[in-house]
A and B are shown apart, each in its own frame.
Chain A
Amino acid sequence: MEHLRIRLVLAIGLVTGVVAAAGTVWIAAAEDGLPVAELVRVETLADDPSVLGDHMRWSFQALGRHRAVTEVDISERFGPALAAAVDADALNATLDAVFEDIGRVRFVRYANRGPNFALAIGVGESGFPLELFMERAPDGRLNLWVITERPSPPRLPDWESTMVLVAGWLFIGVSVATWRSGSRRHPWVELLGAGAVLSTVLVLSSSSWAYTFGRVLPAAMVLVGAWLLLRAHRHPLRAWAIGAAGAAVAAAAVAPLTRDAALIGHPEMLWSIVDNSGLYSVLLAGSAALTALSMLLVVLVAVGQLSKASGWLHAPIWLGIVAASVWAIAATGSSFDYSLGEGTWAGGPLRAAALGSAGLVPVVIGLRLVTARWDRPELAGLVVDLGAASGGLQSAVVKALEDPSVQVLVSLDGERLLGEHGQAVAEGELPADRSLTRIRSGERLIGGLVHHSALVDDPARLSAVVAAIGLALDVNRLNEEVTAQLEEVQASRSRIIEAGDAARRRIERDLHDGAQQRLVALGMDLQRAKRQAESKGEGELAAMLDSATSDVRRAIEEIRSVSRGSLPSLLAERGLGAAVEALAELSPIPVRTEVASDGLPAALEKTAYYVVAEGLTNVAKHAQASEASVSIHQDEGSLWVVVADDGAGGASLAPGSGLQGLEDRVVATGGGLSVHSGPEGTTLTAVIPCE
């Protein structure tokens, strides 16, 4: 629906552009071959020649710009004949003779005379209207004024119509580009600009309607220009600039209320009701002055924004400043020009300058779109910077937007937005040229971005930056959650291992203090019984008791092997070195030991001991090695425990392997366990943090 409307408006804009272009070309082509139509109106002739004379003089004065007045004394040649011409026929015949004589009249269409004058209106050789006015002066002299219509300059010179068409099409083009860029804003104003510029060609029409709009509508260019150039800037002066532009348009619109001599020779305006040549110029001069003021304000606002705007906005702002400056200068000139009388000073160049400035406005808008697009690599940079997390989110965003005043806000509770130093930031408290865009993850408010309001005009950039920041905030949040979970997992893993160790110690202690002691005591009792049986000569019973004692010894052996996996008192009493020696002693193959660290915390020694014990057990069970080595050393805050053999390899940390439990134990300390196993042997390396 929305798109349909925009398309419709764009279509209308395009059609207008095409029609304007075609019409301009057509009219320009037609103008070349056609004489200017009859334009002269004849006022009611009064009988009083002095009245008529005054009127005509006024007329001549007024028309002076477009008409050439030649004064010829015809007293000598035609005085008697004219004096003798008593009736109309005679007068006409005389006038024909006069015209023939001066050789510039094609035909006379109308003639009239009073007692002391004669008037004729005709068409000159070149097709221009021509008036003849004869007067008998009080001194008896006959004066003839030959008033020829000067070929009037074209209402729209070729260069001007070309500029109009180019500027109009630029506006149409930038409307389409704005729409295509995905901007949330409708390109109404750009289309209005196209209309204002293109309506200039209506002055070519002879229709009063078209002509009037052709004179009035182009004045709207200044309003469109001010609006578009300042759209990106929230500034108190902006309202004044647009107000001045509006006043300029209003002044231009009411100017046609006055009928002005300058407009004679053009179609009459629709609402010409006052005959006052002075007022028309004053209004147009005022309109031009207001235009100049508006553009001056535009320049002021834009210059002020240069320091605050993102880098990518600088080029369009500079171009806007150039356009507004030229426009302001041209309008100032036009103001003088109108004050002096239209076209008398430098109307053409001034109109060209103003039109050129208006044509720059769509270029400024287009440049904004283009630089925004060029600038996209910076967005890629933003994502990279966020990934590297160097210097924080804030500085990455500042770099990406080339705007030192952007502020990244974070929301912890999904409601309030907090600034860099934890201060709450409310939308209402932002400066006029700052906007706030909220950043959400799903439904949840996770942050915000305070940025230059101009960024709203580049929704693609804004949404890219916001998406990137959102990702970063999300990643940070998830990171923190995962880290917390990891710490929790690590802690719980430690607790599980601790609990396992404690349970094992308890079982071992129970076995030691309970079953084992009891079995030893039982063994002793059996032996005593055996001796008694022997002493009583009951050899069979003695043998049975001896065999029972053997069973008891085996039971003790078995219990001992159960508790063998636990920590020996040697570790606590004599340290890691002694405990490792003892492990090496139990190995069926030679084990070189090198323990270059002592005074380690008990927990650390314990983990290292388990690594060596499990490592050597694995070597004995699986490696088919001829030799093994254990190396324990400290290095930069880590304890390295390396158990290597020259066996057949095949060890791994895969689930189900005996080393997995060991890995859990090592990882629980915050360290890591690695296994390199190949045909040259196996190396088990544990790195345990020891600070």
Chain B
Amino acid sequence: MRVIIVDDSALIRDGLANVLSDGGVEVAATFPDAGGVLEAVQQLQPDVLVVDIRMPPNFETEGLELALEVRRQIDGIGILVLSQHIETRYAVELIAEGASGVGYLLKDRVTNIDGFLDALNRVASGGSAIDPTVVSRLIGQPGKRGVLDRLTAREQEVLALMAEGHSNGAIADRLIVNQRTAETHVSNILMKLDLPPDAAVDRRVSAVVMWLRSHEGANPLGDVDE
């Protein structure tokens, strides 16, 4: 796997490059800001662009703009946005046009190398990696409780993992259940939430996140309901 790292902090760039190299990931290039990244991506064809959301010149959301721009320009590239702070809004914006190959993680997740590599792999392979903080904030929203209370405690755990971008297999592993059990949970959840039952993992992520995001707790993708 090849990645390009964009982060204004040399410490992070180097640390991340080392960690990824240790994990068998090829770091094709690193950039301190957005300048030249688009061209490098086109040229070097990395699997994933790892980008800090906050960068020069304004230290606002330059990384996010860059990520969205690269996604629009280049098909199939994975984007992993790292941030010091989590804003669910940015996560939603990232997956608004599909959660395939999109990740949004707290920057400190890189201190858990296995978890980070797992997320990076998911993103590289067209999956999603949504930070648990985003998911827990969305699930924790008091306005959703009415509907979410219809889920069992285990179903709620499964829902969180679905939203984070884990596949049924990964969910089964994490919860230490067999895959069929996990699949049952998933289809029950989708049914209870009025979501399409056979969606792919990445579409499942955006459907779940959008559902959670919507104020009324209704299905924002109601038109694909069947």
Contact = CB atoms under 8 A, between A and B. Distances in A.
Interface of A: 509, 512-513, 516-521, 523-528, 531, 549, 552-553, 556-557, 560, 563-564, 568-570, 572-574, 578, 581-582, 585-591
Most chain A beta-carbon contacts within 10 A, residue among B89, B108, B110: B108
B2 interface: no
Given A520-B12, A531-B22, A526 B111 contact: yes
A646 to B, nearest CB: 13
Contact of A525 (B8, B15, B88): B15
18 contacts: A509-B59, A512-B59, A516-B84, A517-B12, A520-B12, A521-B15, A523-B108, A525-B15, A525-B18, A527-B113, A531-B22, A552-B111, A553-B108, A560-B84, A568-B87, A569-B60, A573-B60, A578-B89
Contacts of B43: none
Contacts of B22: 528, 531
B90 to A, nearest CB: 8
Contacts of A574: 89
A582 B107 contact: no
Contacts of A582: 87-89
Interface string B131-152: 0000001100111000000000
B160 to A, nearest CB: 16
Contacts of A523: 108, 110-111
A521 B11 CA distance: 6
Most chain B beta-carbon contacts within 10 A, residue among A519, A524, A553, A590: A524
Contacts, number: 91
A524 B15 contact: yes
A328 B121 CA distance: 125
B142 A587 contact: yes
Contact of B16 (A524, A560, A581, A588): A524
Contacts of B11: 517-518, 520-521
A528 B60 contact: no
A527 B19 contact: yes
Contacts of A518: 11
B54 A512 contact: yes
B10 to A, nearest CB: 9
B178 interface: no
B19 A528 contact: yes
B174 interface: no
A520 B18 CA distance: 13
A166 B74 CA distance: 121
B61 interface: yes
B91 to A, nearest CB: 11
Contacts of A528: 18-19, 22, 113
Contacts of A570: 87, 89-90
A590 B142 contact: yes
Given A521-B11, A574-B89, 9 more contacts: A520-B11, A520-B12, A521-B12, A524-B113, A527-B113, A557-B108, A572-B60, A585-B88, A585-B138
Interface residues of B, number: 31
Interface residues of A, dominant DSSP: helix
Interface string B56-86: 0001110000000000000000000000110
Contacts of A589: 142
B67 to A, nearest CB: 14
Contacts of B113: 524, 527-528, 531
A523 B19 CA distance: 11
A553 B87 CA distance: 19
Nearest to B22: A528
B184 interface: no
Contact of B111 (A509, A527, A531, A573): A527
B9 interface: yes
6 cross-chain pairs, A with B, having the tightest CB-CB distances, nearest first = A523-B111, A521-B11, A590-B142, A524-B15, A521-B15, A517-B9
B142 A556 contact: no
A517 to B, nearest CB: 4
A648 B9 CA distance: 47
Interface string B203-224: 0000000000000000000000
A568 B89 CA distance: 12
Most chain A beta-carbon contacts within 10 A, residue among B14, B84, B110: B84
Nearest to B20: A524
A560 B85 contact: yes
B151 to A, nearest CB: 18
Contacts of B90: 570
A382 B143 CA distance: 64
B108 A556 contact: yes
Contact of A590 (B8, B108, B137, B143): B143
Interface in B76-127: 84-85, 87-90, 107-108, 110-113
A569 B61 contact: yes
A570 B12 CA distance: 23
Given A524-B111, A527-B112, A556-B108, A568 B142 contact: no
Contacts of A526: 111
Contacts of A519: 108
A590 B22 CA distance: 45
